[in-house]
Amino acid sequence: MTQHGPGPERPGRKPAGEDRWALVAVAGVLAFVAMLDMNIVNVALADIADGLDVSAATAQWAVLAYQLPVVAFLLPVGRWLDGGGTRLVVPAATAGFGLSSALAAVAPWAGWLIAARLAQGAFGAALFVLMPVLAMRAVRPELRGRAMSVPATLGPLGAVTGPAVGGLLLDHFGWRSVFLVKIPFCLLALVLVWRAMPRDGRPRPPDGRSLLDALLVATGVVALLLPLTLASEDPGWLVLVAAAVPPLWWWLRGPGGRPVAGVLRVPGLPRAHGAVLALAAGFAAMHYVVALHLQRDDGVSATTTGLTVLAFPLGMGLAGPLGGRLADLRHARGSARAAGIPLGPRPVAVTGAVLTAAGLLLLVPLGDGWSPWDVAWRLTLAGVGMGLAGGPTQALVMGAAPPDRTATAGSTVQLARSLGFTLGPALATAVRGLAGPGDGVPAGLALAAGAACLAVPLLALPGRRPATAPDKTTGAAPAARP
């Protein structure tokens, strides 16, 4: 397997003494904080509406104003960071994220809060792109599985634990505390960055074309995601999805979109991105349906529901480090290989996807007679699978990307994951509505399980080895099968 390291930082092989695990820790902390913010505010919307004396629809923009710029700016930020240093970008994005969160916490009116959340989402987009890039550049290629497993595990853990943490803060300190809780994490990340960040040059200043590309992508992504987010209340919003086509098509045909399209043409990467999207959609759909069923149909308390669904991140957190370690043992020989233990990023990722699919398939018959324990052990199995698959899948993507396109690859895989998190609940809601009152829960869970099952062949089939010579325009060898 041919490994590709980052272009500006790797003239040769990184010596063992230069592994910077502090940067991997930064990537994990930032992943947790950025994903925590995707869900933690949801539980505070009613209190925000009361505190700022606005409608529930207006308070909803405290969530949308963060989520939309995160997704909208992922691709432009990834393209901008390719070929440039990250030493200045990491602390700037982290400080901007923390400052915006503080401004949101002290918001005296709704307009202030929405503006602060928009700024926080823009900085969050930079953090999402930087997470895999930092983890990849911090260690030698043979340690990438372990490094990638840190943000790949801590990110979803932040997403799942967000509502539980938000509920505790809301009960004891009020809605403003859900914005302040992230600031200590940002300060910790800044301290680690200051001590461990290498001097890798300055980022390229964005030019007029980069700003136009950002505007086109933002317009298209907002036109795509906003209707999908609001369609559960009014399906008429789906008409606006067609408005996403012109700006995204114009961008793809231009100089900003061609490098992204080039990354997605690397053998194996389209399927890996599809698997990331499918697993994220299955996870998000399952989480939405199970939580709704336990509280509305079974009458389970919010505390018991929260503890039950935490079985998924528990399994994920336990299996994440193991998945990274197994992914790095691709050349191992002896008892592990003889016993049939899967080694290397692809076998581990496939095994994780299989376990996730198995856990979600076992949840499909969920009914009124199930105890929280019946649900919890199945969620644990699915969580173990997601933990095993996260880091190795990320390593597959980043390892196959051309050396001068690592930030772009990081942005595309984060976009696939974000789309999955958005599409999962929207599709589950639509399926529940079509299936009717009695069959809505099994139909929604079947959708989640089907998405996870789709990820298995997407990860299992390797990309074909290209028969072409190295790219003369970039000097990069064609990406080998990861």
Of the candidates 348, 435, 336, 346, the one whose C-alpha atom is nearest the C-alpha of residue 388 is 348
As a dihedral over the C-alpha atoms of residue 276, residue 279, residue 282, residue 286, rounded to 10 degrees, the angle is: -120
Asked whether residue 200 is domain-assigned, the answer is yes
Q: Which of 165, 184, 205 is the last residue of a domain?
A: 205
271 and 188 in one domain?
no
Domain extent at residue 294 = 267-463+474-482
Amino acid residing at 251 = W
| pTM of the shown model | 0.75
pLDDT of 123: 92
284 and 201 in one domain?
no
CA dihedral sign, ordered 297, 370, 434, 380 = positive
pLDDT of 4: 41
As a dihedral over the C-alpha atoms of residue 397, residue 402, residue 407, residue 410, rounded to 10 degrees, the angle is: -10
Asked whether residue 41 is domain-assigned, the answer is yes
170 and 280 in one domain?
no
Tell the burial category of 371 from Cβ atoms under 10 Å away from its Cβ (0-12, 13-18, 19+): exposed
Residue 158 and residue 36 in contact, taking contact as beta carbons nearer than 8 Å = yes
Amino acid residing at 253 = R
What DSSP assignment string belongs to 368-392? TT--HHHHHHHHHHHHHHHHHHHHH
Close Cβ partners of 333 (under 8 Å, ≥ 6 residues apart): none
439 and 301 in one domain?
yes
277 and 156 in one domain?
no
Q: Which run of H or E residues covers position 281?
A: helix 269-292
Residue 292 and residue 431 in contact, taking contact as beta carbons nearer than 8 Å = no
48 and 187 in one domain?
yes
194 and 91 in one domain?
yes
What DSSP assignment string belongs to 33-86? HHHHHHHTTGGGHHHHHHHHT--HHHHTHHHHHHHHHHHHTHHHHHHHHTTS--
- Token pair for residue 199? 């001097």
Asked whether residue 219 is domain-assigned, the answer is no
pLDDT of 85: 62
446 and 306 in one domain?
yes
276 and 175 in one domain?
no
Helix/strand/coil for 342? coil
The tally of domains found in the chain comes to 2
Asked whether residue 245 is domain-assigned, the answer is no
Instruction: Specify the residue for token string 């991140």.
Output: 313
Rounded CA-CA distance 418/67 in Å is 9
pLDDT of 470: 42
Tell the burial category of 327 from Cβ atoms under 10 Å away from its Cβ (0-12, 13-18, 19+): buried
Asked whether residue 222 is domain-assigned, the answer is no
Residue 78 and residue 192 in contact, taking contact as beta carbons nearer than 8 Å = no
Asked whether residue 417 is domain-assigned, the answer is yes
pLDDT of 204: 64
Q: Which of 205, 240, 257 is the last residue of a domain?
A: 205
Asked whether residue 225 is domain-assigned, the answer is no
- Token pair for residue 170? 């809301």
pLDDT of 454: 94
Asked whether residue 233 is domain-assigned, the answer is no
- Token pair for residue 436? 């009717």
Low-confidence residues of the chain, pLDDT below 50?
Answer: 1-13, 331, 333-336, 338-339, 466-482
Residue 444 and residue 289 in contact, taking contact as beta carbons nearer than 8 Å = yes
Rounded CA-CA distance 449/453 in Å is 6
Query: Domain containing 417 — which CATH number?
Result: 1.20.1250.20
- pLDDT tens, residue by residue, 377-417: 999 999 999 989 888 888 888 878 777 777 888 888 888 88
- Token pair for residue 374? 């019946």
35 and 174 in one domain?
yes
150 and 299 in one domain?
no
Q: Which of 153, 181, 205 is the last residue of a domain?
A: 205
